[in-house]
């Protein structure tokens, strides 16, 4: 099991108790990834992504397989779905682009899905991509 499942299960458990955490471990995830190219050098792009994601939720340490070299990762836990009650884990991996004034951002949002399909991961990824490109 990856740390994404663990983080989401802990967040669901914080809302509904220990039994909710156990159930959440077994629920499927709604995951959506979007690749963006920002017209900013790496340092400015990292500051922008960090600021936008920081306003959306609380920071979470990068996963066990954190990127190395010319890549860096930023992670936040935010809310999605109905009344923003469904925890969504958002990971942004930044990589230097082709030119020195571009940065590629892989934006991944994951949320647990229950009986009612809210597509919280997909909707959160799209909303954050829009905020990053405005």
pLDDT digits (tens, 9 = 90+) for 95-128: 988 878 999 999 999 999 987 888 999 999 999 9
Quick check: 7 and 60 in contact, CB under 8 A?
A: yes
Q: Per-residue pLDDT averaged across 67-77, rounded? A: 79
Quick check: 78 and 30 in contact, CB under 8 A?
A: no
Please report, for the chain, the start and end positions of each structural domain, with discontinuous segments joined by +.
28-133
Quick check: 84 and 111 in contact, CB under 8 A?
A: no
The pTM (predicted TM-score) of the whole model is 0.88
CA distances from 84 to 55, 70, 120 (A): 14, 34, 9
Class (C level, CATH) for 28-133:
alpha beta
Please determine, for residue 65, whether its predicted confidence score (pLDDT) is greater than 60: no
CA distances from 74 to 4, 20, 60, 66 (A): 13, 27, 8, 10
Q: What is the pLDDT of residues 19-46, one digit of tens each?
A: 888 888 889 999 999 999 999 999 999 9
CA distances from 106 to 12, 21, 24, 38, 133 (A): 25, 28, 25, 11, 13
């Amino acid at each position: 099991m990856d740390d994404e499942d663990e983080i989401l299960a802990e967040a669901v458990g914080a809302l509904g108790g220990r039994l909710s955490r156990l159930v959440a471990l077994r629920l499927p995830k709604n995951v959506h990834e979007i690749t963006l190219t920002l017209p900013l050098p790496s340092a400015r792009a990292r500051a922008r992504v960090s600021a936008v994601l920081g306003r959306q939720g609380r920071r979470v340490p990068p996963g066990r397989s954190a990127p190395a070299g010319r890549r860096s990762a930023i992670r936040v836990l935010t809310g999605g779905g109905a009344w923003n009650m469904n925890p969504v884990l958002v990971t942004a991996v930044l990589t230097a682009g082709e030119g020195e004034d571009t940065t590629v951002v892989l934006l991944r949002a994951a949320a647990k899905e229950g009986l009612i399909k809210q597509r919280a991961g997909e909707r959160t990824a799209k909303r954050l991509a829009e905020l990053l490109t405005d």
